[in-house]
Amino acid sequence: MPEEIIVAHESENLTGTVRVSGAKNSALKLVAASLLGQGKTVIHNVPLISDVSIMAEVLRCLGSQVERQGHTLTIDTSTVDSCKTPYNLVSKMRASISVLGPLVGRFGRAEVAMPGGCQIGARKIDMHLVGMQQLGVHFENDHGFLVASTPNGLHGGTIMLEFPSVGATENTMMAAVVAEGVTIIDNAAREPEIEDLANMLNAMGARITGAGTACIRIEGVPLSSMHPCEHYTVGDRIEAGTFLVGGALMGGPLTVEGVNPDHLRMAIMKLRAMGCEVETSDKSVTVRRSAPLQAVDIQTLPHPGFPTDLQAQFMLLTTLAQGNSIITENVFENRFMVAAEMSRMGADVTIEDHHALVRGVSRLQGADIEATDLRAGAALVLGGLIAEGTTRVHNIKHIDRGYEDYVGKLASLGAKVERVVVEDCEL
Ligand code: EPZ
């Protein structure tokens, strides 16, 4: 069975300027939120990635018309006639659970296939349910489908999230915008993508304040007053951070454009702690390094803490740093699988529960390796650029889920990297 892989050769440097795409972890929710307005919503700066294609398919299954022109999606929800999502699409992408809140807001009910777990963890949705139950939503399990109903209508409530879950904050917020009365979400997620979603909902007629802080207040408005809008997706801070790690690894200077540097404060702090020089302007970040990489300790935490989505990329950096680094993964229960792949390249990583001890080595060697999730895959390709020889990264569908033209963007920065279809016998 032929397989498309990414082949990365030892490269001189990664230098120049790259413009990041719109944020995957915002765009998916913006598409879902369009269900709350009858008519044509236009979303710009949408990344060309497979997860967005799946979410667009989910909206079409609900009866929407979805058209893409380049990085712009036009979603006409005036023909939406179903509140049931198909299992085959939800099983492909758990983020499709993000239609739950808008469907409950629009129809007062929803039937969403229960999302499965994935490589990095169980990915439960209990906090989504607890949050929405405070708004009068009842849930039942029906043969793998979550059936939501609002027998007494959708009303405001006070929600205290046990953990600042991004998805739970988003689903609860999207249902609350058309609930009767005021909703307070306490211990809310503070990720920039939450703010981006709230900005779009407010442009549609919602009344949300406090998005981006731990306490979000939503004053419910009638569904009939919600209307379509035009919105520009926030730049992808994780894609930007991935390229900055590449510049830190190879020396740079490498500039990322199209991202708000404020969304990368913790990552920038850690790059500086590892011996990099980092300069920022209002819409770009530049990294360069001439001194040896220094070891660093990292704890992943909800925003503004260190982002778990940059953990694999920084682990790669620490494998070549002088000294020992400790990386603690506090957000997902199984997000160290990349370590085994890096070890195949000669890295020295020991995993103990949710801690990784990384002892810096002087060189990595090219090898055949597997992308275990999209961020790990992106990190491993970077590893192949600095490793001696050639690295072949398999399972690259993970990378295509969240990185638009990753190989093309890296090649534009001087990387010797390509996508190749190989036959079984070559694997
Ligand atoms: C979003 O996932 C992102 N995905 C993830 O990005 C990101 O890593 C994560 O937020 C944290 O920033 C999208 O936005 C599509 P959570 P989400 O709810 O919403 C547990 C990437 O690489 N939890 O904040 O699922 C959960 O299992 C992806 O782009 C519950 O236990 O994250 C996890 O351990 C990976 N019950 C932790 O909380 C719940 O009801 C954080 O989950 C909800 C979550």
Instruction: Output the CA 152–ligand 1 centroid distance in Å.
Output: 30
Residue 328 reports pLDDT greater than 90: yes
Atom 14 (ligand 1) nearest CA: 25
**What whole-number percentage of the chain has pLDDT above 70?**
99
Q: Are 182 and 156 in contact (CB under 8 A)?
A: yes
Which pLDDT does position 426 carry in this prediction?
61
> CA-CA distance, 178 to 159, in Å (whole number)?
16
Strands 109-113 and 348-352: unpaired
Atom of ligand 1 nearest to the CA of 375: 22
Give the pLDDT band of residue 1 (cuts 50, 70, 90). confident
Atom of ligand 1 nearest to the CA of 122: 27
Average pLDDT over all residues of the chain: 96
Whether 118 sits among the annotated catalytic residues: the reply is yes
Backbone angles phi, psi at 422, to 5 degrees: -115, 145
Backbone angles phi, psi at 280, to 5 degrees: -125, 150
Atom 27 (ligand 1) nearest CA: 123
| pLDDT single digits (tens) 133-160 | 999 999 999 998 999 999 999 999 999 9
Backbone angles phi, psi at 201, to 5 degrees: -60, -40
Q: What is the pTM of this model?
A: 0.97
Atom 21 (ligand 1) nearest CA: 309
- Please confirm whether the linkage preceding 192 is cis (ω < 30° from 0): no
Pocket test for ligand 1, best of 24, 25, 120, 335 (most atoms within 8 A of CB): 25
| pLDDT single digits (tens) 271-300 | 999 999 999 999 999 999 999 999 999 999
Atom 9 (ligand 1) nearest CA: 166
Q: What DSSP string runs through 294-340?
A: BP--EEE-STTSB-GGGHHHHHHHHHTSBSEEEEEE-S-SS--HHHH
Instruction: Output the CA 167–ligand 1 centroid distance in Å.
Output: 6
Atom of ligand 1 nearest to the CA of 193: 14
Which pLDDT does position 177 carry in this prediction?
98
Pocket test for ligand 1, best of 58, 133, 163 (most atoms within 8 A of CB): 163
Q: What is the DSSP letter of 22?
A: B
- Ligand 1 binding pocket, CB closer than 6 Å: 24-25, 28, 95, 121-128, 163, 165-168, 189, 191, 308-309, 331-332, 374-375, 402
Instruction: Output the CA 196–ligand 1 centroid distance in Å.
Output: 17
User: Please, is 62 exposed, middle or buried when counting C-beta atoms within 10 Å of its C-beta (0-12, 13-18, 19+)?
Assistant: buried
Q: Are 75 and 40 in contact (CB under 8 A)?
A: yes
- Which helix (H) or strand (E) element contains residue 54? helix 50-61
**What whole-number percentage of the chain has pLDDT above 90?**
93
| pLDDT single digits (tens) 382-420 | 999 999 999 999 999 999 999 999 999 999 999 999 999
Residue 116 reports pLDDT greater than 90: no
Which pLDDT does position 425 carry in this prediction?
62
Atom 13 (ligand 1) nearest CA: 25
Pocket test for ligand 1, best of 309, 329, 397, 399 (most atoms within 8 A of CB): 309
The end-to-end CA distance of the chain, in Å, is 10
| pLDDT single digits (tens) 34-64 | 999 999 999 999 999 999 999 999 999 999 9
Give the pLDDT band of residue 91 (cuts 50, 70, 90). confident
Instruction: Output the CA 307–ligand 1 centroid distance in Å.
Output: 11
List the catalytic residue out of 61, 83, 118, 215. Answer: 118
Residue 337 reports pLDDT greater than 60: yes
Which pLDDT does position 117 carry in this prediction?
65
Atom 30 (ligand 1) nearest CA: 124
Instruction: Output the CA 70–ligand 1 centroid distance in Å.
Output: 28
| pLDDT single digits (tens) 236-274 | 999 999 999 999 999 999 999 999 999 999 999 999 999
Residue type, 77: T
